[in-house]
Amino acid sequence: MKNVLITGAAGFLGSHLCDRFIKEGYKVIGMDNFITGDKKNLQHLAHHPHFEFIEHDVTQYIKIDGDLDYILHFASPASPIDYLKIPIQTLKVGSLGTHNLLGLAKAKQARILIASTSEVYGDPLVHPQTEDYYGNVNTIGPRGVYDEAKRFQESITMAYHRFHGLETRIVRIFNTYGPRMRLNDGRVIPAFMGQALRGEDLTIFGDGSQTRSFCYVNDQVEGIYRLLLSDYAEPVNIGNPHEISIKDFAEEIIKLTGTSQKVIYKDLPVNDPMQRQPDITLAKKLLGWEPKVGRAEGMKITFDYFKNLTTEELYKSEHKDFSGYINK
């Protein structure tokens, strides 16, 4: 049985990755400090014989006993709500945390996959975004703490690959959604669905012409899994290339939820990307991967998940100040 360490294991994507690797017959060691993760995402694995959990901050020295075959580094705030509130921790997990995990991978002779993001492209001047595009990022803007943490993460990972010969993989994750997202994390899908469930009007920042591309979590996990087991060390986009404007998406949510709310508009925030669409030509060629779950199917599953939340969970985000970042 091979051993895999997954950081950020209590997060949305991290917890789904734990499920996938256990299903594939791995022993999974999950690690999280719960700064944005949620213990309930791992409750179903609490007594699983092939799952072990370590509560730890990856920016501190990491000690793992025994062998490790793979490391997946998914520890990081991933929503503007989070990284605007904890900017220093966001920078540290992308730099110090990545450094610690690369060192651990080197010591254990393990292959490591790091979770990068479409945010490395910033507000792109190339559309759709290909892996060879360098990006258009404001290093000192409010989103820079996340964007630059991930760009540094890619740089140090490639340095370890080239200098130490470490087996590394880099996934650039585009907007992903599904069960276990936090309703109050400020991203557009839980924000719209939460507003609909609470009977509130749906809020769009800007004129709604911004585009996003949404990938269902099972498709994202499949792409990550294939990339880890591939022989390719440079970044690969994993996302759904089907693009939709925020305005059209709001109308889809109103239709899906059967609500009668109207859409209201507020000012566009600083550096909010106007377009976000992955070019997945490389993933198709290298991994034989492309998304399978259509938006209608995935959104229904996700909405059903949110409908089953408790009243407390549904309303605890009601008066949050989303600071204009609802469109991520």
Q: DSSP characters for 24-60?
A: TT-EEEEEE--SS--GGGGGGGTT-TTEEEEE--TTS
Distance between CA atoms of 90 and 71, rounded to whole angstroms? 20
What are residue 177's DSSP bridge partners?
Answer: 216
Q: Which residue type occupies 183?
A: L
Q: Which residue type occupies 292?
A: K
SS3 245: strand
Terminal-to-terminal C-alpha distance of the chain: 39
Q: Which residues of 220-234 are buried (b: 16+ CB within 10 A; e: fewer)?
A: bbbbbbbbbebeebe
Q: Are 152 and 95 in contact (CB under 8 A)?
A: yes
Q: Which two tokens stand for residue 275?
A: 């377009």
The contacts of residue 260 (CB under 8 Å, 6+ apart) are 254
174 φ, ψ (degrees, to nearest 5): -95, 170
Active site residues: 146
Distance between CA atoms of 322 and 302, rounded to whole angstroms? 21
